[in-house]
Structure 1
């Protein structure tokens, strides 16, 4: 704000001209002030409207604040309720888990007794498939859990221990018998019996041993077929004077036989032993194929030299 003294400080008010100049300046300044005041007064309605809007907004903010506090209270209440419900659900889940575990333990005890009785009958009747199924169920049981269950149930320790001992002895006996029967079937070249006992091995937890025995049998058969095919091809080739072609014919038949082995036995291996067991079987067949091919090549080279 400009002070009055600053307007007239350079005017000589001791003279008529100075006084008139000072009055002129004061009048001019007064006119500017009046003009500015009128401008401000003309905006009074707008200012009042804005103030009313601000007042309404403040009132609305108050309502929002109240609602926010109410909402916060409801959220806190809901959170506490959810925590209580969650705790009850956790307790229910825990109870359900315990009930399920209890049921499983009871089922295991029942199955243990059934398997113990069934495996003895199966061995007497030489029903090795049924006996292997009982052993397989026994092997799938948790031995520690069985013992714990027996300890928890009065009078069950002796019966459980007896059943476990019976099944362990039966498993050993059936494994020995299946091994023996498989070897006998191989000696007799009884393919049906070979396949029968081959399917029993995995039920007894003897996956690797069963595959090893079966593939040894298969490789022996492939070797015999390869030699037989070579002799047959050589006889025909000599008669037709096409000896060199006999080796390629033999090689073709060898590869076809190996492919047929995979095709025929894939389903049995995957169903009884598991899908992942086919890969090592193919690896064994590949090695056998390589060995037979080497033999053919050596015989072919020898025939050329002669």
Structure 2
């Protein structure tokens, strides 16, 4: 609370003010400073009364602060407890995570071992299956067993050499039979059996050899038809009674190209199934070279 009296000319309560008062010699100046000192004291009393009037409010605030301090202590205690629990949970989570990684690694190893055991059993089944299929002349099944064994070998290269030797022996036997059967079918112009044995070259892993054999077979078939037609034309030319008859060489050549186109169209599926689009390309190139060289 501020006083309405004018401010004192000196700052009472300091060492400088006391020295100034001691040095005074004029009574008027002393009287003036006395009145100022009384006014200053009155202002101090008023300020003190004002501060004392706020004591109850300050006591209430202090009490509230003490209560808040107690609550903060409780909160701190709870926070420390939560921190302890979180730290413990974190350590437990790290431990569990490490165990999970160990179990995952162990499971992977177990699964890998089980797969290898299954592969061993399946390889044995393939070996037995090839032998039984060969005995029963079921060459398609035998070729599938060989193909499956080869796939397993590519996945597990550390398989037993004894099993591999047994399978390779059966594979060689099957390849020999297939090639002989194919050769016989080609000689007999038995197209269904030619297709049957050509399809076995793929599971046996000798696709390119099969493609070459099949292309050679198609060339022989077309060449034989063209040769017969050409020989027929030559006979017409040699017959004296047909000297005035026109011989259609253009038609003969046209029929040759028609046969080539039909061969490509009719054998599109088997060629693509064997070695993809390269089979068609190889067939076309082979026919083209044969026509140019005249060796079809």
TM-score, normalised relative to structure 2: 0.57
Larger radius of gyration: 2
How well do the aligned residues superpose, as a CA RMSD in angstroms? 4.8
Residue matched to 1:70: 81
**Residue 106 of structure 1 pairs with residue 117 of structure 2:** yes
CA drift at 1:108: 3.0
The runs of 5 or more residues in structure 1 that have no matched partner are 148-159, 228-246, 296-306
8 Å contact from structure 1 (residues 219, 288) kept in 2: no
Q: Give the equivalent residue in structure 1 for 2:29.
A: 18
2:143 and 2:200 in contact (8 A); partners too: yes
2:159 partner SS: helix
Instruction: Work out the number of aligned pairs and report it.
Output: 244
- The reply on whether 1:164 has 2:164 as its aligned counterpart is yes
Name structure 2 gaps, 5 residues minimum: 1-10, 227-253, 292-296
Q: CA deviation at 1:133?
A: 1.6
Q: Distance in 2 between matches of 1:219 and 1:39?
A: 124
- Aligned residue among 146, 150, 154 for 2:159: 146
Q: Which moved more, 1:54-63 or 1:176-185?
A: 176-185
2:13 corresponds in structure 1 to: 3
- TM-score (norm: length of structure 1): 0.56
Alpha-carbon distance between aligned partners in 1 of 2:195 and 2:12, rounded to the nearest angstrom: 118
Q: Deviations over 1:132-178 (max 9, x none)?
A: 1211222133465433xxxxxxxxxxxx72x4322011223334544
Q: 2:203 is paired with a residue of what secondary structure?
A: helix
Work out whether 1:61 is the aligned partner of 2:72: yes
Q: Give the distance between the partners of 1:97 and 1:220, measured in 2 at CA.
A: 54
Are 2:126 and 2:149, in contact at CA under 8 Å, matched by a contact in 1? yes
SS at match of 1:146: coil
Report what 1:302 is aligned to.
none
Helix, strand or coil for the counterpart of 1:141?
helix
Deviates more, 1:63-72 or 1:40-49: 40-49
Structure with more helix by fraction: 1
Alignment check: 8 A CA contact 1:108 1:141 kept? yes
- 8 Å CA contact 1:7–1:26 kept in 2: the answer is no
CA offsets 1:195-240 (integer angstroms, 9 cap, x no match): 5445434423345655x5499579979x99xx9xxxxxxxxxxxxx
C-alpha contact 1:178 1:197 (8 A) present in aligned 2: yes
Contact 1:219 1:285 in 2 (8 A): no
Checking the alignment, whether the CA contact within 8 Å between 1:8 and 1:22 is kept in structure 2 is no
SS at structure 2 position matched to 1:134:
helix
